[in-house]
Structure 1
Amino acid sequence: SLWVERTTLILVQSLPGISRWFEVEKREVVEMSPLENAIEVLENKNLQLRTLISQCQTRQMQNINPLTMCLNGVIDAAVNGGVARYQEAFFVKDYILNHPEDGEKITRLRELMLEQAQILEFGLAVHEKVVPQDMRPLHKKLVDQFFVMKSSL
């Protein structure tokens, strides 16, 4: 139940400026439900993964550590539990029956999860081509964990 409150302030003057404070002209507060937050998190993570994979593929990235860390963070999501938590929260019969208004959002989340699996699979293929020998054991662990994760989708 991770609700997010996003506050946007519109100021009378533009930033940066010489004043120490600026008068607020308008304040807008938007609440995002846990499901909406999950969708946004997955959209952002998929974009980040695509960008890192593309940079690695086109050799714009000399150091593959950012890609390795991102792949590891998504596949072995020890901090927040990753997509498994979303499955436990939103794809259970109880949630679906009690929130029929969220049908389209649940479908969108499912699509993003499947899309992420495809991105990860491609990312691991790119990673395999550029990973140094000393990081091969980590790569193998990521591949093994990915197939376990993919089978649960």
Structure 2
Amino acid sequence: MKERTIDYVLRATWQAVSRMYNEEAGKYGATMSIGFALLSIDKESGIPSTALGPQMGMEPTSLTRTLKSMEEKGLIVRKKNPVDGRGVIIHLTKLGKEKRDLSKATVLRFNDIVKQHVPQEKLEHFMEVADIINDLIADKQIFKDDHESIHSKQQLKKI
């Protein structure tokens, strides 16, 4: 059997998690993106619309569609920013707060089930590895243009 690459394992695992959350959210007429947005909005003070996208790691067009859907479902309201009238603060409605609690319970259940099946030490190692991968990417250490990288590109051309 071929050795699985790190990126393959990450991608396949994330796709499985994403599919699982979307199936669960679908039971309530929602999506994983809506659930994630609900969890990213402060229950009491809301969040500036300009801060939500970066916090969620979502592209503006995807975020716009998600927020429009959430507004249509009565989960959020947009209010002018009292400090900067040009900006908008997104607030949860009563229904939005209820759905946020449901989303939180869903995420906590996932975490609890995984913790029941994976020893704490292994979870800590998993988190450490994920942090290292994120740091390598943030520091542009994967595809920096140096001799080693050029050598790797030449090797790929031979394949």
Task: Tell me the TM-score normalized by structure 2.
Answer: 0.28
